[in-house]
Copies of this chain bind each other. A is one copy, B any other.
Amino acid sequence: MMKKLNLLELPGHLIRRLQQQSTSVFQERMKAEGFDLTSVQFAALNTLGKGEGLDQATVAKRIAYDRATIGGVIKRLEQKGLVTRTPDDEDRRAFKINLTEQGKDQLTALQPVVLALQNDILSELSDTEKAMLLKLMVKALKSAG
């Protein structure tokens, strides 16, 4: 007979499930706190938080997003009034993305919420186990940066 792989024991499947759980917890908590941002949007906003006027490509690089994906993410942040896009004088192909005042306020308000929610993602684990998992995940990333 066909010997079926037990997906539930394979890294690929477990990682996918964990990612599901992670985004699910993120969405629930955000909604509960009255915010309307995805984890992806938050990551971009947070990266832009220094006010350096990064361009899209740099943001994408820092958080390992696809160049083609980041455009839509920034667009949605712009529509929500959280960032502005200004043509870059030094490179006319690029735009400098900056937080609006509202964006800065949102980010400040969001940070403690996001920090707290990270714990909920791994609420089944003890602190020791969480630390161990984080360490292993960092090591497992081929291009951890």
Binding site for B on A (CB under 8 A): 2-5, 7-23, 26, 39, 43, 46-47, 49-51, 63-64, 104, 107-108, 111, 114-115, 117-118, 121-125, 129-130, 132-134, 136-142, 144-145
Contacts and interface: CB of A to CB of B under 8 A. Distances in A.
A131 to B, nearest CB: 10
Given A3-B111, A137-B133, A140-B125, A16 B22 contact: yes
A5 B114 CA distance: 9
Number of copies: 2
User: Interface residues of A: mostly helix, strand, loop or mixed?
Assistant: helix
A52 B28 CA distance: 36
Contacts of A13: 43, 63
A114 B14 CA distance: 14
Nearest to A130: B11
Q: Which of A9, A50, A107, A138 has the largest count of B CB atoms less than 10 A from its CB?
A: A138
B137 A14 contact: yes
A16 B17 contact: no
Contacts of A19: 15-16, 18-19
A84 B24 CA distance: 32
A139 to B, nearest CB: 6
16 contacts: A2-B104, A7-B43, A10-B114, A11-B22, A11-B137, A12-B23, A12-B26, A12-B117, A14-B138, A15-B19, A18-B18, A18-B140, A18-B141, A21-B142, A125-B140, A132-B136
